[in-house]
């Protein structure tokens, strides 16, 4: 089931170096039923291409495994992401010739949230492409036409038959999911005309290395992009990166906007400035990724030192988040946790894969009164910390893993 890539996903080079060794880990958002056998663990090691600098996973799981029935992530449940996609839609509008769009296709459309907003803002006809059953079914229930499949050349052919032209192609936090990124980008370009825009949100390598964002590493995130490696790759696919918007989603990300090279579109100064900054911080060598590796090693030692005196206490984790499996394994939290709480009914009643630790409703915090709560849903650290203090009392300790390791 696991395949091993031997060349760079962007430039094809064979000159790949192991940069960050991470523990074997359960697939994100996958938790076992009580009494079920343990699920398999898979590598998450990060490699750097010495030719183009691209950071990537080489151990690849099939998409049908990553996005099976266990994949239940849906942005419509998150108020912050609703506001985020409204902002995002406004940026898309600015990159359209007349500020309007007739047809929008979202690849990896999940539960259809972004398409609903585009339909409302732009009056567009919309189509979602997503292989994950639960999110796709929810999208359809909300009136968003969704094809439950992986994006492919066959998908492109059927889209062309359905629509004369496509004005917006989007791929939000899925541009990093595709092992065959060359084929993916060429298929995107084949849907576009000179007035079209391709928008894609991705975990930005600058933020990952500067902030030590270990929680952004997932098995489905096979690529972590920098502009230094991304721009020449897009050019080879007939696309030009014309603008980029840095955002604080997922701890630090970016939205890229590309047009066909044949459109001769003006390139924003922001792109040029960020390329220069990437060189300044060492993304054109192994300097930056080595600094990231050293930082997370220090973070791991800090967590171990903080937890050691608390062994034997009642300790809870807050949030069976997508990053929880890696955080638990990397920081060695599984042997300390008595239980994890989560707001999702789909996750409650399940267990951590490698430990006899149940996932319980959030109300269990008040019933069990833990002495320490570890914030696993690190993206929402401040809000969760406030919530814990309100539910229990100001004296309960909370271990925050982001933006810095500390007990509060």
Domain boundaries, the chain: 75-284, 311-407
The answer on pLDDT for 403 being more than 70 is yes
Residues of the chain with pLDDT > 70, as a percent, come to: 98
| DSSP H or E segment with residue 82 | helix 79-94
pLDDT of amino acid 99: 64
Q: Tens digits of per-residue pLDDT, 296-312?
A: 999 999 999 999 999 99
Per-residue confidence band for 96, with pLDDT thresholds at 50, 70 and 90: confident
Alpha-carbon gap, residue 227 to 28, rounded angstroms: 26
Q: What class has domain 75-284?
A: alpha beta
**Fold match between domain 75-284 and domain 311-407:** yes
Instruction: Give me the residues paired with residue 340 across strands.
Output: 317, 359
The answer on pLDDT for 11 being more than 90 is yes
Q: Is 186 exposed, middle or buried (0-12, 13-18, 19+ CB in 10 A)?
A: middle
Per-residue confidence band for 356, with pLDDT thresholds at 50, 70 and 90: very high
Q: Is 361 exposed, middle or buried (0-12, 13-18, 19+ CB in 10 A)?
A: middle
Tokens 């060598």 label which residue?
Answer: 285
Mean pLDDT for the stretch of residues 25-37:
92
Domain 311-407 has CATH 3.90.1150.10: no
pLDDT of amino acid 281: 98
């Amino acid at each position: 089931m696991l395949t091993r890539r031997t060349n760079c996903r962007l430039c094809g080079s064979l000159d790949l170096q192991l940069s960050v060794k991470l523990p074997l880990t359960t697939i994100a958002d996958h938790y076992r039923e009580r009494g079920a056998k343990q699920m398999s663990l898979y590598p998450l090691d990060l490699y750097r291409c010495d030719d183009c600098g691209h950071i990537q996973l080489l151990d690849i799981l099939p998409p049908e495994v990553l996005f099976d029935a266990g994949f239940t992530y849906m942005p419509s449940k998150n108020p912050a992401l609703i506001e985020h996609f409204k902002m995002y839609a406004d940026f898309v509008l600015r990159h359209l010739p007349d500020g309007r769009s007739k047809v929008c296709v979202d690849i990896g459309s999940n539960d259809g949230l972004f398409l609903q907003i585009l339909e409302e803002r732009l009056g567009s006809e919309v189509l979602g492409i997503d292989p994950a059953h639960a999110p796709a079914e929810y999208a359809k229930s909300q009136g968003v036409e969704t094809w439950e499949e992986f994006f492919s050349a066959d998908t492109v052919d059927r889209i062309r038959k359905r629509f004369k032209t496509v004005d917006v192609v989007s791929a939000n936090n899925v541009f990093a999911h595709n092992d065959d990124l060359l084929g993916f980008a060429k298929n995107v370009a084949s849907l576009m005309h000179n007035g079209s825009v391709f928008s894609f949100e991705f975990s930005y390598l600058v933020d990952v290395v500067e902030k030590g964002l270990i929680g952004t590493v997932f098995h489905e995130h096979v690529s972590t992009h920098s502009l230094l490696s991304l721009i020449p790759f897009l050019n080879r696919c007939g696309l030009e990166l014309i603008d980029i918007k840095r955002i604080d989603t997922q701890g630090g990300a970016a939205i890229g906007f590309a047009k066909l090279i044949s459109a001769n579109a003006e390139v924003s100064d922001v792109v040029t400035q960020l390329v220069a900054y990437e060189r300044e911080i060492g993304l054109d060598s192994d300097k930056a990724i080595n600094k990231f590796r050293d930082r997370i090693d220090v973070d791991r030692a800090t967590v171990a030192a903080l937890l050691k005196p608390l062994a034997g206490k009642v300790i809870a984790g807050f949030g069976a988040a997508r990053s929880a499996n890696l955080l638990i394994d990397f920081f060695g939290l599984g042997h300390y946790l008595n239980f994890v709480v989560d707001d999702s009914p789909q996750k409650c009643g399940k267990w951590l894969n490698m430990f006899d630790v149940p996932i319980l409703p959030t109300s269990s915090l008040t019933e069990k009164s833990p002495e320490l709560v570890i914030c696993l849903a690190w993206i929402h650290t401040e809000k969760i910390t406030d919530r814990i203090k309100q539910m229990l009392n100001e004296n309960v300790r909370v271990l925050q893993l982001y933006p810095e390791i500390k007990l509060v």
